[in-house]
Amino acid sequence: MSELQRDERVAVARLHALLELLPTALDRQLTPAGLTSFEYTLIEALSEADAGRLRMSALASRTNATLPRLSRVVSSLERKGLVVRAACEEDGRATNAILTDDGRRAHADARPSYENAVRSMILDGLDDEDVDRLADLTLSILTRLDPDRRLAITAEGADAACAADPPVAAAPVADCPADPPGVAA
Amino acid sequence: MSELQRDERVAVARLHALLELLPTALDRQLTPAGLTSFEYTLIEALSEADAGRLRMSALASRTNATLPRLSRVVSSLERKGLVVRAACEEDGRATNAILTDDGRRAHADARPSYENAVRSMILDGLDDEDVDRLADLTLSILTRLDPDRRLAITAEGADAACAADPPVAAAPVADCPADPPGVAA
DNA sequence: CCCTATTGCTTGTAGATGCAACCTTCACGT
DNA sequence: ACGTGAAGGTTGCATCTACAAGCAATAGGG
C-alpha cells in the first residue's frame, strides 16, 4: 500500500515510455506499405479467419479495439477496396467484414514491411529466452487488465487453427458462415 | 530473414494488445483525479526537477512527447492553474514550464490514484523477479527504438537526484535556473 | 555590422479515437 | 401476438495528436 519501490518505478517508467513510443514508431515504419499497424492487424485477423470473414464484434475482440473505432476503420478500408461489409444471414443485427482479393494482396504485400519492423524494433534485441519472458510478462499484465479474457490475449495472431488453447471457456462471439460468395477464395 | 516463429508471434501479439489496452485503461482509472496519465507524468517530471522548473524541450524528452503535443498540454495545465510558463533569461528562445503550488498539490493528490492504478494493473501480477525482467526487456526494446538514448529511458521517474547513471553522455537539454521567484517552493 | 542558417517553441489543419446517444433486430415472458 | 429489454453497429460530438508551416531569437561568416 505504501510507496512504489525504486525498481518498480523504473520498470513502470520504461513501460510507459514504450507505450508512448512504440505505436508511433511502428506506424511510421509501415507508412510505405500504406497501412497502419492497426489496419495490418485487422487484415491479418481477417485473413486467418474462415473464408476471410468475421463479424464486427469478433473482429473488435481480436484486434483489441472498441466497436466504434473498428467501424470507422473498416469503412476506411472499404473505401480502399480491401474489405467489404455484408449483412449476416443468421443474425440480422450483425455485420460481417470480408476480405477482398485486393485485401489479401495488400496483406501479402505489407507483410515483409511489418515483419521487418517488428524484428528491427522489438525482436532483434532479444534472445529466445527473452521472447518467452516477454510473452509471459505481457500475459500476466493483460490478464489483470482483462479478467474476463474476452480479448485477444490467448494465441491471437499465432496460427489460424490452434489446437492447444483451453482457456477459451465461454466463446463470446462467432462468425457468420454463409454469405455472398466469390469475394475472396 | 524468413517468417516469424510462432512464439515470436505470440509475444508480439500480446505486446500489441498491451499497447492498445494499457494506456486507455490507465487513463480511465485516473479520471477521478482529474488528470490523464500523461499529465501526471508531466507534473511529476516537473516536481522532481530543480525548483519545479524545466524547459519545454527538456520536459518533452522526459515525458517522451513531441514538442507540439507538450505545448498544448502545458497550455491546458496552465489554464487549470497547475503550471505557469515563463521566458528563460539565458536564452530568449526558450520557455520554462514551472509547477505552481496548486500543481504540487494536484500531484500529491493524484499520487495515490496513480500508484494504485499502476499497482493493480501492472505490478500486482508480478513478483520481484518479474519486475526486474520487465525493466530489462523494456530497456532492450527502447534502446533499439531510440539509439541516441535521447529520451527518458535511463532512470526517469526513479529518483530526483540519482547518483549512479553514467549513460547521460551528451546532455542534450538543460533547464534555466534563474526565473520569477516565489511561484513554487 | 549585416545576412543567413539553426534552434526553440507555437499554431493551423487534418485525421484519429472514445463516449454517449441512436436505430435496428433478436430473445423472452405473458 | 405484443411489449420490454438486451445485443450488434453506426454516427454526433468533443478531444487529442501528429505533421508542417510559421515566428522569434541565437549563432556564425564575411
Q: Chain-wide mean pLDDT for chain A?
A: 82
Give tens-digit pLDDT for A27-42: 999 998 899 999 999 9
Chain B contacts of A156, Cβ < 8 Å?
A: 13-14, 17
User: Could you give the C-alpha distances from A107 to A40, A83, B2, B100, B174, in angstroms and in order?
Assistant: 7, 11, 16, 51, 46
Q: How far apart are CA A49 and CA A103, in angstroms?
A: 13
Helix (H) or strand (E) holding B74, with range, is helix B67-79
B residues 106-165 closer than 8 Å to A (CB): 115, 118-126, 128, 130-135, 137-146, 151-153, 155-159
Q: Do B12 and A159 touch (CB under 8 A)?
A: no
Local confidence pLDDT in tens for the 185 residues of chain B: 667 888 999 999 999 999 999 999 999 989 888 999 999 999 999 999 999 999 999 999 999 999 999 999 999 999 999 999 999 988 989 999 999 999 999 999 999 999 999 999 999 989 999 999 999 999 999 998 865 555 554 543 322 222 222 223 333 444 554 344 334 43
Q: Where are the beta strands (DSSP E) in chain A?
A: 53-55, 83-87, 95-99
* A22, three cell numbers: 512504440
The three-state secondary structure class of B5 is coil
Looking at the complex, does the CB of residue A183 fall below 8 Å from at least one CB of chain B?
Answer: no
Is A183:A84 a contact under the CB 8 Å cutoff? Answer: yes
